[in-house]
Structure formats: structure tokens, C-alpha cells
Amino acid sequence: MSPLLDIAVEHKLGSFTLDASFTSDGRLTALFGRSGSGKTSLVNVIGGLIRPQVGHVIVDGQVLVDTRRGIFVPKHRRRIGYVFQEARLFPHLTVRQNLLFGRWFTPKAETDGKDLPAVLDLLGIGHLLDRRPTGLSGGEKQRVAIGRALLARPRLLLMDEPLASLDEARKAEILPYIERLRDEMAIPIVYVSHSAAEVARLATTLAIVDQGAIKACGPTAEVMSRLDMARLPGAPEASSLLEAKVIGFDAEYGLTRLETRAGTLQVARAGLALGSTLRVRILASDVMVSLSPLDGISALNVLAGTVAEIGERSEAGAVDLRIDCNGEMIVARLTAKSVAALALKSGSPVYAVIKSVSIDAP
């Protein structure tokens, strides 16, 4: 079976060269990279705003571009939805009119509006229908912009930094809607971001973009825990992503207990529903390593495991290593000196001592 996305393009833009190829079967593929790395150019190639000099763009088996065969489907025939950093709503139209505007670009037989209730429900915007964009919060505007894109029944949704202009509170408000969109709609999403936290939370597939090329691509947890991340320019800090379940709350200290395959973690958070599941992100620099189980330290989270792999020493003298904790990989960043002092090697039994855990719940 062909992948959902199959992209390989070469294109010169002034002195910048895009030479990027990747395939993805992810529901949400994040393009992550520094400013100027080529993320937007790549999105524009997929959307049809840039006609690449060489290459192909195939979405769900549909060939949109194949330069060898002279195929270039123009952008208005690609059925690709766009959501930008700013919502770009029409100020003189109501939310309802803005939402239905996207349908002008959809084949007639599909513009019956029967999707509207489901989209309103998915994005929680039913109560806004008669309002005009001026009175809406940034998060509400973005939800309307997403709804407008969805109502055009796209075969792919391109989201280019959709949260970048929102403050933290508005971001937290909109993230669960993007998760629902990812999990409940059968529309693959390509999502541009330079926020590692956002990508850790949302992406099923992660592609690292640098200098116009894809430097790594694969399942998010796998890419994020690669030991060569520190040497990939523009990549996020190596980290472990774990699926966790809320199993208890200690009201006296405001600590939530999370069950993961690697062991139990405690985080300083309240208000998480018992039994709910979430992703946990642990930065390599927040993990220390001990040879014995520890007493008398402040860290609450100590997981037993064995060293699975030791990375190369960085220029700054740091070494990342992967610790296998019951089949779950925890990445730790140590100094080369500590690795030597503890005589760590592949197979050494160790304890990962976790200083801080970030979780994806708002």
C-alpha cells in the first residue's frame, strides 16, 4: 500500500535549495525546524503554491505532482485545506458565513452543508455562529478557521504554525480540539511548528527540517529519543515520550500519580481525571543516573532499568544514553565524566532519576 504522504522534491528559491523527501503514514505529521529551514516552502509545495523543479507529491495515492510525467495538479483542484498562523477570516461576514465560504471551492455534489453540525461539535463553535470575527478570541478565531477548512472536505489539512500567534492560555484551550481533529476525522494533517512541546503532544510522525532537507522522520517518540538528536541542527532536545494513565491523586501534596510502562511517576498537578490517558515528556537533561536505588534525595521519580545504548560525546562534553526501563526508552544526558566515573556500558543496571516531567494535559 502506498503511504499517506510521499514527497520528494528539489526546488531552488533564490539562494535557498529545498531538497526534501519523506514518506508518512501518520495522522498528524509535524514538520519541525528552525526559522528559515524550509518548512513553509515545503507546505507550499504540497499545497500547490510552489511548482517544484523536480520531484513528486503523492497524497493518499493521488499524484498531485510528478515532474517526470509532467503532472502538476493546480492548487484549487488539490482539495487541500490550509490553516495559517492568523485565522484570516472575513471581518464583514458572520462566523456561519465564514464557515460556509470554504464550500465554494468544493464540488457541487458535496456542498450540502450536512457536515456543519459535526464540525461545529468537533470544534465547539456552535454558539458563535451569528457573531462576527472581531469579537472572538484568538483561539475561537482559529477554531473557526479550522472549521472553514474542514467544510471544504479536504483530503489533507495543512496547518502552518496555527498556534504561533496565541498566548499560552489560548494555546492550551485549542490543543484538545486539534487532538480531536487528529483522532476523530479521517483527514491526514501536516503541521508546521517550531515548538517541541506542541510537537511532542500532537505529532504521530515527526520530520525534522533543516537547510531545506529532512534530517530525520519517523514515529514521534522514536525520533525524539534518538541519541544523535543533539548533533542534528535545529532538532529538539532529546526526550522520552511515554503514554501514561492517571491512577491517583495525593491531595495533601497536590501530586498526581501516573502509571507508565516504565514505572510510576508523580507530577505536581491537580485536576486530571482519574483513568484518563496522556503523554508524558521527559527531557534528557532532566534525567540523572544512579547505580543504586536512592534514599534521601528530593526527586520523586526513580525508575529501574538497564543501559541500552550510549551516544557519542558532544563538543560540549555531554553524552546521551538510552535506558531501557521495562521496554520503554528513557533518554538521559550526562557529562562524559559521569559516564566514565560510573563505568557505564551497554547492559549496566541503573536507576533513572527524573527531576521534572512535563505532561500534555492542559
Ligand X SMILES: Nc1ncnc2c1ncn2[C@@H]1O[C@H](COP(=O)(O)OP(=O)(O)OP(=O)(O)O)[C@@H](O)[C@H]1O
Residues that bind ligand X (CB under 6 A): 13-14, 16, 33, 35-41, 194
Q: Work out how close the CB of 14 gets to ligand X at its nearest, in angstroms, rounded to a whole number.
A: 3
Size (the chain), residues: 362
Cβ nearer to ligand X, comparing 33 with 311: 33
Reduced to 3 DSSP states, what percent helix, strand and coil does the chain have, rounded to the nearest 5?
25, 35, 35
Cβ nearer to ligand X, comparing 83 with 344: 83
Tell me if 318 sits within 8 A of 354, measured CB to CB.
Answer: no
Instruction: Give me the sheet containing 277-283, strands edge to edge.
Output: 263-267, 255-260, 239-250, 277-283, 358-359
Of residues 64, 71, 77, 331, the one with CA closest to residue 224: 331
| Structure-block grid coordinates of residue 146 | 479550522
Q: Work out how close the CB of 225 gets to ligand X at its nearest, in angstroms, rounded to a whole number.
A: 24
Q: Work out how close the CB of 213 gets to ligand X at its nearest, in angstroms, rounded to a whole number.
A: 12
Cβ nearer to ligand X, comparing 94 with 165: 165
Q: Please give the angle made by the CA atoms of 337, 343 and 348, to the nearest 5 degrees.
A: 130
Q: Work out how close the CB of 163 gets to ligand X at its nearest, in angstroms, rounded to a whole number.
A: 13
- Report the first-to-last Cα separation within the chain, whole angstroms: 37
Cβ nearer to ligand X, comparing 39 with 333: 39
Q: Work out how close the CB of 18 gets to ligand X at its nearest, in angstroms, rounded to a whole number.
A: 7
124: three-class secondary structure by DSSP: coil
Cβ nearer to ligand X, comparing 39 with 143: 39
